[in-house]
Amino acid sequence: MAGVVSSVFRPGLFAGKSAIVTGGGTGIGKAITQELLYLGCNVMVAARKLDRLEAAADEMRSQLKDEKVRLEVAECNIRKEDQVKNLIKTTVDKFGSLDYLVNNAGGQFMNTAGEFSLKGWNAVVETNLTGTFLCCREAHNQWMSKNGGVIVNIIANMFNGWPGMSHSGAARAGVDNLTKSLSVEWAPAGIRINSVAPGSTIFSDTAAQNYGSDTIFKAQIPRVPAKRLGTTEEVSAAVCFLLSPAAAFISGETVRVDGAQSLYSTSIVWEVPDHDKIPPYTWKDDKDGKSKL
């Protein structure tokens, strides 16, 4: 219910800690921000549209019960290197540290691969992959390389391919691999990094508005073993676990929050029509008609 925030974790778990949540004003990002605040963490939320972000921040501030907990906002397009550098610097300046980074900002649009323009393809890949890399790099270079920290990347259920969103699937798969690589490279600095992959049946009002309807979500319920839609709070709980000391020996992993959807079906409703465009090869020799095998 709007205005009511709670957590399965103990209050004060992240007291004195500081975090950045990109895309933290709507949907999954907002749920993560709210739970971190509830657990005592100072949070910098960043997004491209400052007016919408300010409105969301005002709502979340009204829920705060601990006057010591701070919520700050920053306008940032994660595709812009200078803006990402400024985001990290501003956060450290305001809070004095950067303990956690949650790379939630991203986006995509539905279309077949043959219809993508190069501009559209680049926009999605630069946002989801390059933007995530820039945030990770700057968090490492400006703070975590000397002080340690925890990073969680939000990706997607693209493990069986993502027809209709191949641009985002390719980018999110890149982040999955980036997570594994950085978990090894940055371990000596005391940095843990993991990913969380929400299923495409995680429902939020923001997601429904983006796709113009909630039908796309409801249509997938039969393909999910849990037989229901997931919630943004269930994704947030997984993120908070990975940030917490309980996950101190977990790094380089991707946690799927999808009700076993990725083990049961493709990540999106996509029907292949009947066709005869892939005929079998006969392995016959043209001259004598005998098999070559």
In tens, the pLDDT along 173-204 reads: 999 999 999 999 999 999 999 999 998 789 77
Question: pLDDT grade, residue 291 (50/70/90)?
Answer: low
Report domain extents, the chain.
18-263
Q: pLDDT, tens digit, for every residue of 37-96?
A: 999 999 999 999 898 999 999 999 998 888 899 999 999 999 999 999 999 999 999 999
Tell me how far apart the alpha carbons of residues 245 and 4 are, in angstroms, rounded to a whole number: 26
Share of the chain above pLDDT 70, in %: 91
Query: pLDDT tier at 1 (50, 70, 90 boundaries)?
Result: very low
Of 81, 87, 167, which Cα lies nearest the Cα of 123? 167
Q: What is the pLDDT of residues 205-249, one digit of tens each?
A: 776 666 666 677 788 888 889 999 999 999 999 999 999 999 999
Query: Residue 50 belongs to what H/E stretch?
Result: helix 50-61
Does 2 have pLDDT greater than 60? Answer: no
pTM of the model: 0.91
- Rounded to the nearest 10 degrees, what angle do helices 131-139 and 81-95 cross at? 40
Q: Which two tokens stand for residue 249?
A: 């020996």
Record: fold of 18-263: Rossmann fold (3.40.50)
